[in-house]
Amino acid sequence: MTQIRLTPDEIHDLAHGILTRTGYGEAHARAIASFLTTCQMDDCGSHGLFRLFMCVETMRRGTIDGTAEPDIVTDDSAVVRADARGGISLLATQSGLPLLIERARRFGVAALAVNRCYHFSALWPEVEQLAREGLSALSMVPSHAWVAPAGGTRGALGTNPIAFAWPRGDTDPLVFDLATSAFARGEIELYRRAGKPLPEGVALDADGKPTTDPEAAMRGAMCTFGGHKGSALSLMVELLAGPLIGDMTSLESMAYAEGRPEAPYHGQIIVAFDPARLSGGRADAGQTSAEALFAEIAGQGARLPAERRYAARARNRERGYAEIAQSLYDDLKAL
Amino acid sequence: MTQIRLTPDEIHDLAHGILTRTGYGEAHARAIASFLTTCQMDDCGSHGLFRLFMCVETMRRGTIDGTAEPDIVTDDSAVVRADARGGISLLATQSGLPLLIERARRFGVAALAVNRCYHFSALWPEVEQLAREGLSALSMVPSHAWVAPAGGTRGALGTNPIAFAWPRGDTDPLVFDLATSAFARGEIELYRRAGKPLPEGVALDADGKPTTDPEAAMRGAMCTFGGHKGSALSLMVELLAGPLIGDMTSLESMAYAEGRPEAPYHGQIIVAFDPARLSGGRADAGQTSAEALFAEIAGQGARLPAERRYAARARNRERGYAEIAQSLYDDLKAL
């Protein structure tokens, strides 16, 4: 597969150009392009430039507002609301994060409820951002009802990722971002594009029977990871990132889209924890304990989450470019 | 296996008698006996009367304080601290819960940090209790470093359960309580006592190789559920229920116990979310959305978490007793 090299500026400009030509306003185009650049520079291809197809489809055939200004609402509580007002989530989330940080430091724990947003993005960049402010953070989001509950036969749950970050001082934060489906939706799409069969246990066909065919999986349902435990956690994501914050479940989001090929429309929750407040004055000791645990895990030859991504970031920053497939580049230029 | 019938009062009195004779003060004996009765009436045997062996061992050979009065600390934040001061966790948690509820309602989200406690209990009774107050709740706790990280060879993580509850008005709350290890420690102990082999993929022996022998598993390490995803979630539990709240990791808890057969000594975190505050005035609509999701899951023939336990509770309450094994009863009477 032929690869081409793009600098961060080239990635940003490519995305920004496509987005503004498609109808995204300047603030949204910058927030999205910046996000895609971050992902692409980490070799996180499934949430990089590839997602521009979805951004464009959403604008062309969705009910999205490309120039929506997020409405940030606070009161005297530990809850910050960012109403995306029908735009892509990223600008709303970025607008709410400074207030979430302030509330977490003031109250020890705080929550950002992002509402009424089109959502296509990975969650790790936002929790990493919070961890670089010294906070631990947890983020969850529903999607569309593509995932069957354990013991079920058809989609009822979203891919429902859980992202988490832990601050490590001057070291890169510990970060993970995992779909509670056995596969992320984007991964199945990549298998489909590559014509490869799925592993066993990942998907059901339209009759609720196990399948390894990505096309059949797209028409049927995905399975959760880890059997009934993964299914329970996926249900938790539905509730915390949906009804709790007054927003849609994956079932409702799918019904709302009425089959349009747009990014799912729903909410997102981010919870931030301040170790300085929660540790009872033992935040330094806590850091030492956490580092001892990380050292033990690494000492066994096991990988810490995000290690591979941080390695890609370091390499790409050092050489000044990321590589993307020529075919993807050509497809993007044709948008 | 011969079973005997015990009424809730008989379960409570049996536990209370053993606990007070062993050195637990009245407040602790009541909190523990009440908890064990709750579990036993739900046929939750692994966290019922069976745990009295551990309570007794902990008192006989641990450094536990059987009469410790919990110290509850609050400030103007959303964090409540319950310092168990070297006692069993249950009394400290119960002492902190009313303040956690008040803080969650005031701030929308709040956290209870339980510190310096011996811990042997399931987490579901406490999150269920919060859900009956109209709150959603999340609870996590480390244990001892019996669980290997994905890709590792020896224990570094605890069994690290995640419990979650969602309030359903007059209906029993949706509740789950799952170990992030493939098995709970108590389950392996039950396999050992029954002389049964473990399923594949659950445990490693002392050399870091897979095993199905419960004895070898007790000397080696357990695996996490769901591969690297379960391992990442287990690591999150370590951090949120340990260093974040200024308490021990499972590695530190195990080192602290120095091989004594006592309940693990560490902390516990409970996070409570108030739908009334977080939903932006859409709490009723949120309940409707959640119920539609539950109906879809049940309509597929899949089970909602805790269904089996609630069925056991209803049956045992109706007939007025729970059944326990005669052999367990005899062993307890001999304590």
Chain A residues with CB under 8 Å of B292 CB are 249, 251-252
Catalytic site includes residue B102:
no
| B92 residue type, one letter | A
Q: What is the pLDDT of residue B87?
A: 97
CB contact under 8 A, A77 and B277: yes
The beta strands (E) that lie in A224-297 are given as 265-273
Q: B213 to each of A172, B158, B207, B237, how far by Cα in Å? A: 40, 20, 13, 27
From CA B93, how far away is CA A170, in angstroms rounded?
A: 35
From CA A185, how far away is CA A120, in angstroms rounded?
A: 11
Catalytic site includes residue B95:
no
**DSSP structural state of residue B55:** H
B281 interfacial to chain A (CB closer than 8 Å): yes
A79 interfacial to chain B (CB closer than 8 Å): yes
Kindly give the parts of chain B with pLDDT less than 50: none
Q: What is the pLDDT of residue B190?
A: 83
Residues 94-113 of A with CB under 8 A from B: 106-111, 113
| A36 residue type, one letter | L
For A81, the token pair is 């609301």
Q: What is the pLDDT of residue B31?
A: 98
Q: What is the pLDDT of residue B332?
A: 96
- Measure CB to CB from residue B150 to each of A153, A252, A302 and give the nearest one: A302
Q: What is the pLDDT of residue A187?
A: 82
Secondary-structure class of domain A3-181+224-287+305-333 per CATH: alpha beta
CB contact under 8 A, A248 and B289: yes
Q: What is the pLDDT of residue B253?
A: 97
Q: Tell me which residue of A259, A33, A56 sits closest to A144, measured CA to CA.
A: A259
- pLDDT tens-place values along chain A, 335 residues long: 799 999 999 999 999 999 999 999 999 999 999 999 999 999 998 899 999 999 999 999 878 999 999 999 999 999 999 999 999 999 999 999 999 999 999 999 999 999 999 999 999 999 999 999 999 999 999 999 999 999 999 999 999 999 999 999 999 999 999 999 998 777 888 899 899 999 989 999 999 999 999 999 989 999 999 999 999 999 999 999 999 999 999 999 999 999 888 899 999 999 999 999 999 999 999 999 999 999 999 999 999 999 999 999 999 999 999 999 999 999 999 98
Q: What is the pLDDT of residue A131?
A: 98
B249 interfacial to chain A (CB closer than 8 Å): yes
B296 interfacial to chain A (CB closer than 8 Å): yes
Which of B187, B238, B252, B262 is the catalytic position? Answer: B187
CB contact under 8 A, B244 and A289: no
Q: By CA distance, what is B176's nearest residue in A?
A: A232
Q: What is the pLDDT of residue B186?
A: 75
Q: What is the pLDDT of residue A185?
A: 74
Residues 224-243 of A with CB under 8 A from B: 225-233, 235-236, 238-240, 242-243
Using one digit for the tens of pLDDT, what is the confidence trace for B187-234? 888 899 899 999 989 999 999 999 999 999 989 999 999 999 999 999
Q: What is the pLDDT of residue A25?
A: 98
Residues A200 and A122: beta-carbon distance below 8 Å: no
Q: Tell me which residue of A254, A78, A85, A47 sits closest to A156, measured CA to CA.
A: A254
Backbone phi, then psi, for B236, in 5-degree steps? -60, -40
Q: Tell me which residue of B333, B328, B323 sits closest to B5, measured CA to CA.
A: B323
